[in-house]
Amino acid sequence: MYLVRIDYEMLGLKRKSLLEAISVCLGSKEIFNAEVLRETLGELVKDDPIPIPFMRTVILATQAMPEMKKYVLHEIVPKLISRQVWDTAPKIWDGVVMFMKSSVSHREAEPTLRGFLGLPYVQLHAILKLVPAAATPLANVLSALSREEFDEVVKGYWAGLANPSDDNKEGTASADKMKIIHGLMKQKGNQK
Amino acid sequence: MVLFSTHAVLSCIDREQVKSLLMAQEKVSENSVTFNSFVDSSNPFENILLTSFRLFDHGSLFEGSFEGLSNASDASAFLRQHIHLICQLCLSCLQLIVFLFDVYGVLERMIGSTTDEMTGGTLLRDLIYSEVLNIIPAMARHFSPEAVFACISQRHPSTYPLVTEVLDHLTRDYSLPASAELVTLVQSFKQASDANSYRILVPVLSGMSSETILQLVPKLIDEFGESEGGLEVLRSAFHRVVEARPPPLSRSTLLMALHRYI
């Protein structure tokens, strides 16, 4: 992609107008179809910083084209987790939480749920508080993991949040976090 | 003999005001199409033109005595018929459209200064507007968009909304990129007209470079990003950019550009 960044705000562009312009594109589904949106989101998620309207576009796109959800749950949210956007782009993370409120029970949500199980305690706790409906799908995923997968997922290796070669052998699996994990497993009645 | 203008279609037009407007417009006086300049005596359309120009001629427009017209409805039909005929003749002689644009421009200026909602002037102006737009598809088959635009773009600024509409119609096929010549003509027109609006550039976006488009996009969003009508302009602009073959910007590139701000 040869495109350079445009400093819209320096040009005096109002954010509301910009959002309207994006909505105009998303409203033309025959032109800006799922394939185009996948390509666009796949590039934008690599941006640093990630554009602020990014998650708004994700939510609008998945509302207009439900077939987009699989791509977002498989590719976009796991990437955002691996980039630890709760630290680097809190507004993007707020958008992820909002998106998950309507997608946590989606049949293609497993990659995202695995990513959530790898979150540090604070973020996992917040997710369960903000999206209570996530508890059951998370417990279901936990129950389906093998012992090896369990470690890989819960320690954050799978999500790219920790590395087995690091000094910290527990990864993101702090004591507080493990209480939550065990609580979820109890809920499922499947103690590992 | 029926009084045509004063009590019918053109009843609300102030004769002296229009005359002074016409006389004050040097461009109109010098360049407006006249009967003699376009009609060969052997031309079979002479009578049609003669009648039409009697209707519109600066001297007789507001005298308006025409036989056979008994009411406003007749007069309206008469006007429509003759404007339609002049439009048809534009297919043979493109320069005739200049005449319609001049009349349109005078009416637009005049109506802009009145508070009446519907006058003979507005009726005549609207008839010219709709008939000119109706003839554009046929005109596009006879003349290049560049030739048509060059012809209509030299008129009074009050005609610019119609010029923009005509340009929209001439470039209606989004898959065909605007030619470099048309882009240059329109850019020069915008520069010369000193217009603040970027609206006139929308029909030729498909012929511009990606860099130029990316510079224009924020300006278009700033101008059209808030009102409902403005969003239609934006929609048209985006479609023109991505539907041209080849497109100056891909769909994903445009969408990414809209997201990327610092």
**Tens digits of per-residue pLDDT, B141-152?**
999 999 999 999
A6–B221 CB contact, under 8 Å: no
Neighbours of A183 (CB within 10 A): 12
A3–B239 CB contact, under 8 Å: no
Residue from A114, A59, A108 nearest A81 by CA: A114
Residues 26-85 of A with CB under 8 A from B: 27-28, 31-32, 36-37, 39-40, 43-44, 47, 51-54, 57
ipTM: 0.89
| Among the ranges given (A168-182, B21-35, B108-122, B239-253), the one the predictor scored with the smallest mean pLDDT | B21-35
| pLDDT above 70 for B61 | no
Segment B19-58, tens digit of pLDDT: 444 444 333 334 444 433 333 334 333 444 444 444 544 4
Mean pLDDT, residues B105-118: 71
d(CA A21, CA A192): 50
Asked whether the beta carbons of A89 and A49 are under 8 A apart, the reply is yes
The residue of chain B nearest to residue A47, with distances taken between CA atoms, is: B260
Asked whether the beta carbons of B9 and B75 are under 8 A apart, the reply is yes
d(CA B110, CA B193): 20
Chain B neighbors of A53, CB-CB under 8 A? 258-259
Backbone angles phi, psi at B120, to 5 degrees: -60, -35
Residue A5, H or E segment: none
Q: Point out which residues pair with B3 in neighbouring strands.
A: B65
DSSP symbols for A85-124: HHHH-HHHHHHHHHHHHTTTT-TT-HHHHHHHHTS-HHHH
From the list A7, A9, A24, which residue is nearest B238 (CB)? A24
B252 touches chain A (CB under 8 A): yes
A5 touches chain B (CB under 8 A): yes
Per-residue model confidence (pLDDT) at position A50: 95
Q: What letter would DSSP give residue B179?
A: P
Characterize A35-69 residue by residue with b for buried, 16 or more Cβ atoms within 10 angstroms of its Cβ, and e for exposed.
ebbbbbbebbbeeeebbbbbbbbbbbbbeebeebb
Dihedral sign (CA A67, A70, A73, A75): negative
Residue B65, H or E segment: strand B65-66
A22–B255 CB contact, under 8 Å: yes
The residue of chain A nearest to residue B225, with distances taken between CA atoms, is: A17
| pLDDT above 50 for B259 | yes
d(CA A159, CA A119): 8
B256–A10 CB contact, under 8 Å: no
Per-residue model confidence (pLDDT) at position B26: 36
- Average pLDDT of the residues of chain A: 92
d(CA A166, CA A59): 36
Give the three-class secondary structure for B3: strand
Per-residue model confidence (pLDDT) at position B66: 44
Per-residue model confidence (pLDDT) at position A9: 56
How many residue pairs bridge chain A and chain B with CB atoms within 8 Å of each other? 105
| Among the ranges given (A30-34, A87-91, B49-53, B116-120), the one the predictor scored with the smallest mean pLDDT | B49-53
Segment A77-98, tens digit of pLDDT: 999 999 999 999 999 999 999 9
| pLDDT above 80 for B72 | no
A175 touches chain B (CB under 8 A): no
The residue of chain A nearest to residue B234, with distances taken between CA atoms, is: A21
Dihedral sign (CA A57, A59, A61, A67): positive
Per-residue model confidence (pLDDT) at position B70: 53
Characterize A11-21 residue by residue with b for buried, 16 or more Cβ atoms within 10 angstroms of its Cβ, and e for exposed.
eebeeebbbbb
From the list B225, B255, B257, which residue is nearest A32 (CB)? B255
Chain A neighbors of B222, CB-CB under 8 A? 11-14, 17
Per-residue model confidence (pLDDT) at position B234: 96
Count, residues in chain A: 192
